[in-house]
Structure 1
Amino acid sequence: MDNTADDEKSLPQRLLEGQVIEALRQVYDPEIPVNIYDLGLIYRVDTDPDAGRVHIEMTLTAPGCPVAQTFPCTVECAVREVPGVQDAKVELVWDPPWSQDRMSEAARLQLGLL
């Protein structure tokens, strides 16, 4: 998910990232009853706790997804609810394409894929 190793991150970065991930786990894909984090739609979470900024790279299950125009705003709103976050940006990326391999074990169990 994140290219920066956890041991290179400051404690405030790790704490904020954990809070952001918990917020992302409250956002569910509109077509699949699994949260977007465990579904594997979140590719990267960058945090700057001093500035209160969060940048997220995410994808959707398909480029033609009917919520492609509106869903990033839904995710941004959820992240902005995290204490200390002043600004949240969500960038949709399509490379690499999403596949079921990106799903967590919990998501696979929930969907009966294990």
Structure 2
Amino acid sequence: MSTTEELKDKIIAAIKTVYDPEIPVDVFELGLIYDINIIPPLNKVHVLMTLTTPSCPSAEQIPGEIEQVVRSVEEVSDVEIELTFEPAYTTDMMSEEAKLELGFL
């Protein structure tokens, strides 16, 4: 059985397989994931996330994909995805890797 930090690393690795269809960067590096909370002992996972804009054409697709990949992590019992637009997304939330990939640096 993994520690909470090990499980969180597995969840992040799973989330990094999800891409915004319009941007060649995964949603984690893009900065769309605000928080990942693991609730023991059953390892229920709560993901707080946003989208690049409230009118994002992938508004239903991306959260659904994230839920699916997190649910596929072996030790996860349940997943809740919470979508928020506070704080509003900005490109400052991107990782350095994402900024390099998109030519912002």
TM-score, normalised to structure 2's length?
0.93
Number of the residue aligned with 1:110: 101
Equivalent position to 1:17, from 2, 8, 11: 8
Number of the residue aligned with 2:92: 101
Instruction: Flag structure 1 segments of 5+ consecutive residues without an equivalent.
Output: 1-10
Number of the residue aligned with 2:57: 66
Number of the residue aligned with 1:6: none
Partner SS for 1:44: strand
Equivalent position to 1:54, from 45, 60, 85: 45
TM-score, normalised to structure 1's length?
0.86
Paired residue type of 1:64:
S
Cα deviations by residue, 1:48-93 (Å, 9 ceiling, x for unpaired): 2421211000000000011212321111001011110121111100
Runs of 4+ off more than 4 Å: none
For the residues of structure 2 that align with 1:64 and 1:72, how far apart are their CA atoms?
Answer: 14
- Percent identical residues: 44
Query: What is the count of residue pairs matched by the alignment?
Result: 104
Number of the residue aligned with 2:68: 77
Instruction: Flag structure 2 segments of 5+ consecutive residues without an equivalent.
Output: none
For the residues of structure 2 that align with 1:49 and 1:83, how far apart are their CA atoms?
Answer: 14
